[in-house]
Structure 1
Amino acid sequence: MATGKGADDRIADLVDGILVQTPLKAAGFIVTIYGDLVEPRGGVVWIGNLIETCAAVGISETLVRTAVSRLVAAGQLLGEREGRRSFYRLSRAAGSEFAAAAQIIFGGAEEENWQLVHLSGAEAEERMQALERAGYARLDPRLAIGPARQAAGSADALTLHADSPDPKALAAFVRTYWNLAPHAAAYRLFLDQFRPVAALAQQHPLSPATALTIRLLLIHRFRTVLLHDPRLPAAALPQDWPGLEARRLFAALYRLLSPAADDHLGRRFVSGSGPLRAVTEESEKRLSLLETQTA
């Protein structure tokens, strides 16, 4: 037991370092809580659980309540009451967004098809920006190229499928049109932050509350880095691409922390109809998807 408490103290020091390097915003961390803990378990939770969970990473009750109000105003959360308690559930639109993000985070490698998209019409710039957020590179004001995961989105767009049998030519093309250096740096920072956490968690048991806090911080940081990454197919990436190691570390540490973290969730988190289930079909599916990514 003393060893576990010592490990928790050392983990707390590592968490403090992570928070100094990459400070949290209340709304973003609450989105992570919903995506990781609440969405797979019905989408609704007591605000007291949000307050308690955010306090563990230094986010005050006032900031939590302000952030929740903003998420309600943005249409991502819906409030409801049971007696004197306030509960918040995901809106249907937010639930769809969270499910799509979970597929990216837990699903591993994506399709390796490429496409060119030529945009016309008055809203071409707005749609071009959406393509860039999805990882496309802008070749000119109306022409973009990228992984074929994003539909062009309108009838006045021309989509052409692209292929390159030569990996060297593809890699050279990517170096010309994508600046991958900031994304590589973000993955390396993630690795520097969580390698020592993983080493300590493998050697010593953590308390359930600490395991939950670390898992949330882990997925929050990985989600932030991954969803900003253009997520190009493997053949287009440098051989030493740190995103591959970052995904393996994320998968292994998430699985290691989950038994204790989910135990804490099942004992502490509640919805209007009772305790949240520690394990659900969706949470088990996520762990199963990650199992294939740890080799």
Structure 2
Amino acid sequence: MAEVAISDAQERSAESPALAGLAAAEAPRAPAFIVTIYGDVVEPRGGMLWMGTLIDCCARHGLNESLVRTAVSRLVGAGRLEGVRIGRRSYYRLSEAARSEFREAARLLFAPPPVPEDWLLCLSEGLRDIDLPLPWARLAANIALAPNRDDLMPVDGILMRAKQLDGHGDLAVLAADRWSLPEVAGAYGDFLASHGGLRDLLARNVTLSPEVALALRLRLVHDYRHAALSDPRLPRAAYPQDWPAEEARNLFVCAYVGLSKAAEAHVGAEFLSPEGHLAPHNGETERRLFQLRREAAG
């Protein structure tokens, strides 16, 4: 018994810096964090989760039961969650619209597309009367510019492909103004400051309990997703030399992979759907990890 007690105490001591980091961090907004839980854990395993599991999971992040129930109610009202009652228990899943949105976010998190090399220019008098969808930016009343990306939302008008000529103008100054790049850099900086300690934690092979590993991974995904989705993903020449996106990406990839074995054990043990416990892992979660491991090795 004494040996078990010592082992437990050592594990709690090893976890304490990680737990302290979670405790010190500002609690996330409940609706957005619940969507993160569904996108990272629930959706790839079938999509439905018991409210009690959701409440327990959110409690680790400073979100009490009242906040969670209110957030779920608002997400249902906004058409982002759908609920079903089975016996005395309520279960929720992402709506089709929310699933489609997170599938796009998941692609950016787990299989990011290559950095674009050039631009698209749109000329149209119709641009004067519309709010441009991101990442389009207005250069003049009838001229808009966007990175040439496969996932770009089109706008009506004459489209031209453009490439900057070296030595002509300061593209980084234009980009910083049109796409609010200082704010995006701030989001990446906040992510690195909040999660940078995971590098040391994982490098020392500290044994984390499954519950703590999942809590750390969920916050990692939540904060990185916020930063990455705010990034317009422009050609590299449009960013300053000290752009923090690559460092943030490397941290996300290494930490996600390093936390996942223990984190997924907690999912399999504690997360309940109408059919019972969610699977610790399946084809979709293995595919995500394979992509990240390949990226880390490359």
TM-score, scaled to structure 2: 0.88
- Show the counterpart of 1:162: 162
For 2:257, which of 255, 259, 269 is the aligned residue?
255
Q: CA deviation at 1:199?
A: 1.0
How far apart in 2 are the matches of 1:264 and 1:240? Answer: 38
SS at match of 2:295: coil
Q: CA deviation at 1:151?
A: 4.2
Q: Is the 8 A contact 1:137 1:177 kept in 2?
A: no
How far apart in 2 are the matches of 1:37 and 1:152? Answer: 28
| CA offset digits 1:60-118 (Å, max 9, x no partner) | 11111111111111111111011111001111121111101100112234351421123
Pairing 1:97-246 to 2, within 5 Å after superposition: 97-112=101-116, 113-121=118-126, 124-126=129-131, 128=132, 130=133, 134-149=134-149, 150-153=151-154, 156-164=156-164, 166=166, 169=168, 172-179=170-177, 180-203=181-204, 204-246=206-248
How far apart in 2 are the matches of 1:198 and 1:152? Answer: 36
Q: CA deviation at 1:53?
A: 0.5
How far apart in 2 are the matches of 1:280 and 1:36? Answer: 13
Q: CA deviation at 1:152?
A: 4.8
SS at match of 1:292: helix
How far apart in 2 are the matches of 1:111 and 1:187? Answer: 17
SS at match of 1:95: helix
Q: Which moved more, 1:202-211 or 1:248-257?
A: 202-211
Identity level (%):
42
Amino acid at match of 1:205: T
Q: Is the 8 A contact 2:48 2:91 kept in 1?
A: yes
Q: Is the 8 A contact 1:80 1:87 kept in 2?
A: yes
| CA offset digits 1:38-66 (Å, max 9, x no partner) | 11111111111110010001101111111
Amino acid at match of 1:188: G
How far apart in 1 are the matches of 2:128 and 2:91? Answer: 39
- Show the counterpart of 2:276: 274
2:93 is the alignment partner of 1:86: no
Q: Is the 8 A contact 2:55 2:65 kept in 1?
A: yes
TM-score, scaled to structure 1: 0.89
Gap regions ≥5 residues in structure 2: 1-6
| CA offset digits 1:231-288 (Å, max 9, x no partner) | 2133433332211010000000000000000010011111112211111111111112
SS at match of 2:130: helix
Q: Which moved more, 1:98-107 or 1:206-215?
A: 98-107
How far apart in 2 are the matches of 1:140 and 1:121? Answer: 12
Amino acid at match of 1:282: E
Q: CA deviation at 1:178?
A: 2.6
SS at match of 1:102: helix
Q: CA deviation at 1:136?
A: 2.9
- Over alpha carbons, which structure has the higher Rg? 2
2:79 is the alignment partner of 1:75: yes
Q: Is the 8 A contact 2:267 2:278 kept in 1?
A: yes
For 2:46, which of 14, 23, 42 is the aligned residue?
42
Q: CA deviation at 1:147?
A: 1.4
| CA offset digits 1:110-151 (Å, max 9, x no partner) | 35142112354488423x1x2xxx333221234221212354
Pairing 1:5-84 to 2, within 5 Å after superposition: 5-19=12-26, 23-84=27-88
CA root-mean-square deviation: 2.1
How far apart in 1 are the matches of 2:207 and 2:228? Answer: 28
How far apart in 2 are the matches of 1:294 and 1:169? Answer: 36
Q: Is the 8 A contact 2:214 2:266 kept in 1?
A: yes
Q: Is the 8 A contact 2:58 2:68 kept in 1?
A: yes
Q: CA deviation at 1:201?
A: 3.5
Q: Is the 8 A contact 2:175 2:238 kept in 1?
A: no
Gap regions ≥5 residues in structure 1: none
How far apart in 1 are the matches of 2:130 and 2:15? Answer: 50
How far apart in 2 are the matches of 1:52 and 1:152? Answer: 38
- Change in 2 beyond 3 A, CA 1:124/1:106: farther
